[in-house]
Amino acid sequence: MTVQPDFAFIAGTPALCLVDTVGDRENTATDRLRDPADLDAWMAAAGLGVDGAQPASLDDLLRTRDLREAIYRCGLAIIDDAPFDPTDTRCINRHAQQPPLRPQIEGGAVALHADRPIEAALSTLAADAIATITGPARRRIRICPECAMMFVDTSRPGKRRWCSSATGCGNRAKVRRHRAKRLQPE
Ligand SMILES: [Zn+2]
């Protein structure tokens, strides 16, 4: 039995939520997309699942990870004020060229259709990545200093440092600072 990984969708954009399927990148770098079933579970949780689709293949998983890491490196490049690596933009562009998911209203709800569901979902994610790394959100891409999660700061002042994870990165840092202060000699 596979244990359902805990996916978080708090990065502000679907593309960065995909990036964050690798947890704690600066330490343990835990990949939550360990097998194709994880990918199906993530796509469904992300609202990118196609009803009745074939289960994802290993190849689908590898292509998803490639796209994910290309988006991550583009995010890092923005933070470092460096140009994108052309290999990464080629990868994102290649995915964005595929036909995306087709939304349809069915019985008052949205159902997604695609001839090749994972490819279409990756196309949709690649398009989101392009919008994120070239549009106004670009200046708001951050990395949480606690958990290394990449996110778009959607707060109005744009001064958010920490992610909004349930484990409370901002709060943890605050507690640590408070403790360090108390330990300082008077
Ligand atoms: Zn965090």
Give per-residue pLDDT as tens, 125-166: 999 999 999 999 999 999 999 999 999 999 888 888 999 866
Give the pLDDT score at 82.
Answer: 98
Distance 141 CA to ligand 1 centre (A): 13
Distance 146 CA to ligand 1 centre (A): 5
Report the sign of the C-alpha dihedral through residues 18, 23, 27, 29, in that order: negative
Exposure of 65 by Cβ count < 10 A (0-12 exposed, 13-18 middle, 19+ buried)?
middle
Band of pLDDT at residue 1, cut at 50, 70 and 90: very low
**Taking a C-beta distance cutoff of 8 angstroms, is the pair 65, 122 a contact?**
no
The pTM score is 0.91
Report the sign of the C-alpha dihedral through residues 11, 14, 15, 18, in that order: positive
Distance 99 CA to ligand 1 centre (A): 34
Band of pLDDT at residue 25, cut at 50, 70 and 90: very high
**Taking a C-beta distance cutoff of 8 angstroms, is the pair 60, 39 a contact?**
yes
Tens digits of residue pLDDT in 33-54: 999 999 999 999 999 999 999 9
| Coil, helix or strand at residue 88 | helix
Domains recognised in the chain with CATH numbers: 14-183 (1.10.3300.10)
Phi-psi map region of 120: left, alpha, beta (phi>0 left; psi -120 to 50 alpha): alpha
Distance 132 CA to ligand 1 centre (A): 20
| Identity of the residue numbered 61 | L
Distance 166 CA to ligand 1 centre (A): 9
Angle at 39 between CA 124 and CA 2, to 5 degrees: 165
User: What is the Cα–Cα distance from 26 to 20, expressed in whole angstroms?
Assistant: 12
Task: Give the H or E element holding residue 104.
Answer: strand 102-106
Give the pLDDT score at 101.
Answer: 97
What is the number of other CB atoms lying within 10 angstroms of the CB of residue 139? 11
Band of pLDDT at residue 171, cut at 50, 70 and 90: confident
Tens digits of residue pLDDT in 80-113: 999 999 999 999 999 999 999 999 999 999 999 9
